[in-house]
């Protein structure tokens, strides 16, 4: 009998199942093919090498070729590369390629995981991420909602654990992408909080939301300052996963939640605002990953902190030269209102510190310097604790979301000194902006083990690839899930 993981009602993506044989009612079967055009014995299908060769199929990871069968079914040859070099990245690409090749099919089966059951999670992630489509209001393309409803992993060996983890990672990433892709008027801080509550319902995750009055009472001066120019009120969102019994560790995740960033009075150029609905990508990753931890029943306590607001110009907006006081009492001279993410993170980090977690990891679309230094496919990571930084990098490698460590060079810290406050939010110089932003955040980490992920460029795709369409990528969501799930083993 096949095993099935039902998708939560809040998730419109595919349902993943396992079975020892291909189901009779599924007419599309994806089969792995090595670069020598042979298939693994466990794949359950032998393909005509001559047929593949004539069609210039080289079986590179991510390459596909549909092979119609006499019985009306379709076998999809999925390239996985050289026999001795198959890894999670190759299977993730192959799974995504299958989802794309399936077209409008509502169900597919694949033997991709059969030869490598320990890599089943990567297969599930690939198919799920490749199947994603944002249901945009676009009459030209008709109904663009995803059509793939059912995915069957065919294997005679157990793939249940990988299926479960992969399915949770897919659900979380879809949530994150959907939230980032929503028009900013449809994802205000209030609506963001409501969506977090809806997503957490029935998972065991707890959601607490502070309104603007509670935010003022709690003295979150950075969040209040950034929100001062917006008609939409701010929200502080806390999502918590508490495992039964004593947790093996307590991890705080902190996300930047700017639901639209105009730059404030330090107004951005129009072209720079086009993707600023995605300036809450870090917050979306934190919420989605924390809910995934609850769905998986992980033995780690996760506290997700999100400071959510718009950053808008108006007669009530903060001015360059204003001084704000953060939750921990630190006064901040605001010289550039477009360096607002670090101001809201200052409050969220301070709240996380007060509860004394074993480690803090924040994630934010923070600086243009990250894009300059590392481009669109590698995030920057900096931190005070080498072991936490190492764990983040290792989790990113497992998730297929690479990170590269930049130095948290203390020699630059004096450049943040202010004449009228404890520190200023920018130095006035473009050099080392990613490092300077991290040095600013360090002031609010209370000396606890901490790492900072800057995902400014990887969080948004300007061009389509196998694993992501244009728009929000959900980058960092799976890294955070891997970090929490494997915290003791990384």
Q: Which residues are catalytic, by number?
A: 268, 342
Say if residues 195 and 292 touch (Cβ distance below 8 Å): no
Alpha-carbon distance of 162 to 141, in angstroms, equals 35
Alpha-carbon distance of 415 to 428, in angstroms, equals 9
- Give the containing element (helix H, strand E) for 473: none
Structure tokens at 160: 């249940």
Alpha-carbon distance of 278 to 260, in angstroms, equals 7
Alpha-carbon distance of 228 to 278, in angstroms, equals 20
Say if residues 123 and 467 touch (Cβ distance below 8 Å): no
Counting Cβ atoms within 10 Å, is residue 486 exposed (0-12), middle (13-18) or buried (19+)? middle
397-402: long-range contacts, CB 8 A cutoff, minimum separation 24? 398/88, 398/482, 398/486, 399/169, 399/478, 399/479, 399/481, 399/482, 400/88, 400/89, 400/92, 400/122, 400/125, 400/467, 400/478, 401/458, 401/475, 401/476, 401/478, 401/479, 402/377, 402/378
State CA 195 to chain mean position distance.
16
Alpha-carbon distance of 113 to 37, in angstroms, equals 18
State CA 227 to chain mean position distance.
25
Going through 82-174 in order, the beta strands assigned E by DSSP cover: 107-110, 150-154
Q: Using alpha carbons only, what angle is made at residue 433 by residues 432 and 434, rounded to the nearest 5 degrees?
A: 95
Pairing of strands 64-68, 74-81: antiparallel
Alpha-carbon distance of 176 to 199, in angstroms, equals 11
Q: How far apart are the two ends of the chain, measured CA to CA in Å? A: 35
């Amino acid at each position: 009998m096949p095993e099935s993981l039902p998708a939560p009602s809040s998730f419109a993506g595919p349902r993943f199942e396992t079975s020892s044989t291909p189901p009779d009612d599924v007419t599309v079967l994806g089969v792995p093919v090595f670069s020598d055009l042979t298939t693994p014995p466990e794949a359950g299908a032998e393909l005509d090498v001559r047929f593949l060769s004539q069609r210039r199929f080289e079986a590179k990871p991510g390459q596909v070729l549909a092979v119609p069968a006499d019985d009306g079914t379709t076998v999809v040859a999925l390239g996985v590369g050289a026999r001795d070099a198959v890894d999670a990245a190759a299977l993730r690409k192959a799974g995504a390629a299958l989802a794309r090749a399936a077209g409008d099919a509502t169900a597919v089966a694949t033997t991709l995981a059969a030869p490598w059951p320990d890599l089943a999670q990567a297969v599930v992630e690939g198919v799920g991420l490749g199947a994603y489509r944002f249901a945009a209001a676009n009459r030209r393309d008709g109904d663009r909602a995803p059509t793939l409803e059912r995915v069957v992993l065919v294997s005679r060996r157990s793939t249940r654990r990988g299926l479960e983890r992969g399915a949770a990672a897919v659900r979380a990433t879809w949530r994150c992408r959907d939230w980032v892709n929503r028009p900013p008027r449809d994802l205000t801080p209030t609506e963001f909080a409501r969506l977090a509550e809806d997503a957490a319902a029935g998972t065991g995750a707890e959601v607490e939301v502070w309104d603007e009055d509670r935010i003022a009472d709690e003295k979150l001066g950075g969040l209040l300052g950034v929100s001062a120019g917006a008609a939409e009120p701010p929200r502080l969102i806390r999502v918590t996963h508490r495992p039964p019994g004593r947790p093996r560790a307590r991890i705080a995740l902190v996300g930047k939640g700017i639901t639209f960033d105009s730059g404030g009075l330090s107004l951005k150029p129009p072209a720079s605002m086009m993707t600023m609905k995605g300036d809450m990508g870090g917050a979306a990753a934190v919420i989605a990953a924390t809910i995934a931890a609850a769905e998986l029943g992980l033995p780690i306590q996760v506290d997700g902190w999100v400071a959510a607001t718009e950053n808008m110009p108006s007669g009530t907006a903060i001015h360059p030269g204003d001084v704000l006081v953060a939750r921990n009492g630190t006064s901040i001279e605001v010289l550039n209102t477009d360096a607002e993410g670090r101001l809201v993170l200052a409050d969220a980090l301070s709240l996380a510190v007060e509860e004394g977690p074993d480690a803090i990891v924040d994630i934010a679309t923070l600086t243009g310097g990250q894009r300059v230094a590392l481009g669109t496919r590698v995030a920057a990571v900096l931190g005070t604790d080498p072991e936490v930084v190492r764990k983040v990098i290792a989790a990113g490698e497992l998730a297929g979301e690479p990170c590269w460590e930049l130095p948290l060079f203390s020699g630059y810290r004096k450049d943040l000194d202010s004449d009228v406050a404890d520190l200023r939010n920018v130095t006035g110089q473009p050099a080392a902006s990613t490092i300077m932003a991290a040095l600013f955040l360090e002031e609010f980490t209370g000396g606890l083990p901490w790492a900072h992920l800057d995902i400014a460029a990887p969080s948004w795709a300007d061009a389509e690839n196998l694993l992501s369409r244009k728009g929000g990528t959900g980058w960092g969501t799976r890294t955070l899930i891997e970090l929490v799930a494997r915290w003791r083993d990384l």
